[in-house]
Amino acid sequence: MCKGHLHTLAPGNKDLPGASATYAVGGMATHWTCATPRPHPDEMPKDLPYSDDEAEWDRRYSFCEKLIGTNQSPFDDLVGQQIVKHALNEAIPEREIKGLPLAVHVDQGKYPHYPHLHWSGCDTIMGSSWSDPRLTLRSDTHVRKIVHDDKKASYAVCENLVTGEKILVRAKYFVVACGAILSPQLLHVSGLGNENNGRYLTDHPVAFTQVVLAEKHLDWARQNSAFDGRLPDDSDPIPIPADEPDPQLYTPYTNQHPWHTQIHREAFQYGTIGDRADQRTVIHLRWYGKQDPQRDNRVIFDNKKLDMWGMPSPSFQCKLSGGDQERGEKIFADMLKFAEALGPYLPGSEPHWRPYGQALHACGTTRLGSDPATSVLDPYCRVHGYNNVFVGGNNVIPTSNSVNPTLTSMVYAVLGVEKLIEESGWGTKTAKL
Ligand SMILES: Cc1cc2nc3c(=O)[nH]c(=O)nc-3n(C[C@H](O)[C@H](O)[C@H](O)COP(=O)(O)OP(=O)(O)OC[C@H]3O[C@@H](n4cnc5c(N)ncnc54)[C@H](O)[C@@H]3O)c2cc1C
């Protein structure tokens, strides 16, 4: 499908103004940040048949980290990263400062301080499967509806958006993976999913600021013999090699500080600094809160008002709970403490909350669970009552979590795939997990 990257879904919507979808082969992973931390045990579901099996969770997370190529702290050796880490360790010794786990392959190649970075995307996961003759990728093609009867889906009605050609795809199993807002949209137009479809929406409120590293931190690097031979020459006022990758750090979720953080430099458009400072000295602080799942927080599809592709258009009803707001105050204060340790605010980027939804971490809209009264999918990602319709994506995540969600939704996808393999009898001929 066309329409490119990050299309705002409900412009002007008050509750979730940042909600967006990507219409492109590869989805949001065409431009994601690749942060793939694991959630804290507090953020995991407690009421699923497999909830208590820590070894199984670990196996699935490890498998998905391997699949997406998570590198636990790829940039620890960088001068910029070490400056930030040292500054924070000095000022806030009680907090653990770590390299952010990133889905990136670092190839030192022939330029030791200018590594080649291969950021992971769908291509990383697909690997050589692209050339499997059993696979057909239809770009520019929209699934309009999944047709079903007797609790079984039988075919999907698709349309080529360029030629208008209608294509019917029959299958034994269907997997809906259209993103956190457009998956419930497809279920909605298809009459699949119960009254919880689109509900229990959560996202991450994001507190954000940019700071300029204080001169004393740069001096620490200038005076540190460990960096001999790595710093630019004296004519460069900034002691950070111009060609090294951006720093990527975080301080993990703990019981005392139950939120996720990113202390880094990011390519988001709202992080663009123009000529306000040398960008090597600018650090972005992004503090992600979690949102309590509430049934009334939801995406609503309007059958009379259609979106650009003729599907019921989404709007949002999504309020923060008292607990979310209380956490929000602590999150904001915590971010200010970190900012103070690093340096002054970049003018124009003083601390603020980003428009809600702009984290692009919407979750829960087709949440899984054991009880159909509070979920859309069974614990193995199947639409309740439909054993041949599976759903994937952040929309399946049932819990309130604060870390970047993609690794976790991959874990649930693996659960679903394992169930599909088991039930279909296709066995290891099809996939080896
Ligand atoms: C700038 C940015 C940074 C991010 N950084 C991170 C990060 O660091 N860590 C993290 O965990 N997550 C991050 N995310 C979120 C992450 O990219 C998503 O969680 C992930 O890509 C979701 O994958 P998905 O396949 O479920 O959905 P999507 O990526 O949304 O893909 C859905 C696909 O379905 C297609 N589609 C929709 N409807 C239909 C239909 N009816 N018929 C046919 N096709 C359809 C769309 O065209 C799209 O290709 C980021 C996202 C962005 C945009």
403 lines ligand 1 (CB under 6 A): no
410 lines ligand 1 (CB under 6 A): no
416 lines ligand 1 (CB under 6 A): no
Mean pLDDT of the region 217-222:
97
CA distance 187 to 190: 5
Q: What is the pTM of this model?
A: 0.95
Please pick, among 297, 361, 384, 395, the residue that the annotation labels catalytic.
Answer: 361
Query: Which of 1, 8, 9, 28 should be mutated for ligand 1, with most atoms under 8 A from CB?
Result: 28
Tokens (6 digits) for 173: 């199993």
Measured from the Cα of 1, ligand 1's closest atom is: 47
pLDDT of residue 137: 93
Tokens (6 digits) for 69: 């190529």
Position 138 confidence tier, pLDDT thresholds 50, 70, 90: very high
pLDDT of residue 166: 96
Please pick, among 71, 388, 395, 404, the residue that the annotation labels catalytic.
Answer: 404
197 lines ligand 1 (CB under 6 A): no
- Torsion angle of the four alpha carbons 336, 337, 339, 345, in this order, in degrees rounded to the nearest 10: 50
Position 46 confidence tier, pLDDT thresholds 50, 70, 90: very high
**CA quadruple 252, 66, 413, 207: dihedral sign:** positive
pLDDT of residue 270: 61
Residue nearest to atom 27 of ligand 1 (CA): 179
Residue nearest to atom 48 of ligand 1 (CA): 27
Is there a catalytic annotation at residue 388?
no
Q: Which long-range contacts (CB under 8 A, 24 or more apart) does 134-141 make?
A: 137/25, 138/167, 139/1, 139/25, 140/1, 140/2, 141/1, 141/167
pLDDT of residue 205: 96
388 lines ligand 1 (CB under 6 A): no
Whether the Cβ atoms of residue 253 and residue 43 lie closer than 8 Å to each other = yes
| Tens-place pLDDT, residues 297-329 | 999 999 999 998 999 999 999 999 999 999 999
pLDDT of residue 430: 43
Q: How far is residue 133 from each of residues 1, 128, 136, 137, 141, measured CA to CA in Å? A: 22, 11, 8, 11, 19
pLDDT of residue 431: 47
| Tens-place pLDDT, residues 113-126 | 567 889 999 999 99
CA distance 192 to 390: 11
Rg (CA), the chain: 23
CA distance 283 to 148: 51
20 lines ligand 1 (CB under 6 A): no
Q: Tell me phi and psi for residue 5, to 5 degrees.
A: -95, 135
Q: What is the mean pLDDT of the chain?
A: 93
pLDDT of residue 428: 59
24 lines ligand 1 (CB under 6 A): yes
Residue nearest to atom 30 of ligand 1 (CA): 179
Is there a catalytic annotation at residue 5?
no
pLDDT for residue 193 is more than 60: yes
Tokens (6 digits) for 377: 């999918």
Question: What is the CA(394)–ligand 1 centre distance, in A?
Answer: 9
